[in-house]
Amino acid sequence: GRAGVTLTAREPAGLFHAVQTLRQLLPAAVERDSRQRGPWKVAGGTITDTPRYAYRAAMLDVSRHFFTVDQVKRYIDQLALYKINTLHLHLSDDQGWRIAIDSWPRLAAYGGSTQVGGGPGGYYTKAQYRDLVRYATSRHLEVVPEIDMPGHTNAALASYAELNCDGVAPPLYTGTAVGFSSLCAPKEITYDFVDDVVRELAALTPGRYLHIGGDEAHSTSHADYMEFMRRTQAIVAKYGKTVVGWHQLTGAEQVKGAVAQYWGYDATGAAERAQVAEATKVGTKLILSPADRTYLDMKYDRNTDLGQSWAGLVEVDRSYDWDPAAYLAGAGVDPGAVLGVEAPLWSETLSTSDHIERMAFPRLPGVAEIGWSPQSARNWDTYKVRLAAQGPRLTALGIDYYRSPVVPWPAE
C-alpha cells in the first residue's frame, strides 16, 4: 500500500539484492553513519528484476600488497552494494603467500613475510580466513580462492627448497616482474604440495570454485605445463571443487566442467582467441575479464597516479561500453558459454583502502551493471547520468572516488 514497501524473491540472495535496490531509491544521506532526519520517501511503483549473468565478480590481489581482514570486509560491503555476488581472492604470488597451510607452515610464515616494495606483508590464519568467508557469505558473495600455479610461485619456492628443480630456494621477491618462477613439474613432491594445499583450501571453501591460476607460466615448458595442469585439475576434482584458471588453461587439456577466465584485450592475437573459443566447444565456460575494460588497476588516463597501463588507459566509458555476449563472438564463442564478468584489481601499486576505492570507483558499478542488466537496457549516455547520481552516495559512504571528467557529477 501507500505506506509500505514489499520485497519478494525466490531465494535469500534475491531478497538481499532487493534491499540494495531499495537503498538506492532512498536519499544518499541514508549511507552516512550518523543519525539522519526523516521521513524518507520512495517513489511508488513496481520493480521486477533478474540478473543477466549468474557470475558477477570482483577480484582482490592480496599478494602483491597484503590487505587485512577489515580492509577486505570493507571492500565486500562496497561490492554488495552493487549486487556483486562473487569475491575472487588472489592468495598467492611471487611477492607473498597469504593463507596459512598447516602441512607447509613456512608458506605463510616465511613466504608471506613481505610484499611489493619490501613491506611487512602478512597472511590470514585459518580462523581469520573463515571469518572473511563467513562475512562474504552474509552478504551473499561466494568466495573463490586462488593459488596461482605453476608460475607466480616465488613465495612458495623461497619457502621450500625442495619445490625447486635444482633444490635451491631463491630469495624472497619484492619487485613487480612476472613470468620468472615455476614449480618443478617433473618432481613428485610438487604434487604432494599441490594436494596438501588444495585439500586444506577446499576445506575452507564452502563455494563451488577453486582457482589454480595458470597464467604467465613463461618459465614452464609446454610439456611440463600440460602435465602439471592435468594432475592439478584432477586434485581439485578429488576434493570436490570446480576448477577455474586464467584462460592460458585452454592451452592444456581441461577437465570436464572447467572454467576459464579470459583476460585478453584488444591486442590479443587471433590464435589465442581461437584457442579459447575451441575450449568452449568442449564445454569449458568463460568468465570475461578483458584487461582493457575490467582491470580496475589500469590507469584512467595518463595523469592517474596509481595503477598500470600495459593494457591501455581505461576511462569510465570504455570500462562500461562493451557487451559480454558479443565480446568473443567473432572468435566463435557462443554467448551461452559466458558465465559472467569479473573486475580484477591487481595491487602492485595499491596498498591502502583509499587506493582500492579510487581505482574501483566509479568503474566497478559499471562492471556490476554489465553483469546484471540486459544489453537492451544499457547505454552510456543514460548510464553516465545514473552513475553521476551515485557520487553523493559514495561520498556519504566515505569512498574517495575518482571524479572522472566523462561523468556529469553533481556539485557536492
**Hey, which residues are catalytic here?**
216
CB 144 within 8 A of CB 244: yes
CA nearest 128: which of 209, 204, 239, 206?
204
Q: Torsion angle, CA of 342/132/113/63, rounded to 10 degrees?
A: 0
Place of cell 552494494: 81
Q: What are the φ and ψ backbone dihedral angles of 363, each rounded to 5 degrees? A: -80, -35
- In one-letter notation, the amino acid at residue 16 is F
For 254-392, where are the E strands, in sequence order? 259-262, 285-288, 338-345
Q: How far apart are the first and last CA of the chain?
A: 34
How many Cβ atoms are within 10 Å of 135's Cβ, its own excluded?
18
Peptide bond into 51 cis (omega under 30): no
The residues with which 84 forms a beta bridge, in sequence order, are none
∠ CA 195-126-163 to the nearest 5 degrees? Answer: 35
Spatial separation of the C-alpha atoms in residues 185 and 268, rounded to whole Å? 27
CA nearest 280: which of 336, 239, 236, 319?
336
CB 347 within 8 A of CB 297: yes
Burial class (CB in 10 A: 0-12, 13-18, 19+), 22: middle
Peptide bond into 39 cis (omega under 30): yes
- Longest CA–CA span in the chain (Å) reads 74
Spatial separation of the C-alpha atoms in residues 133 and 130, rounded to whole Å? 5
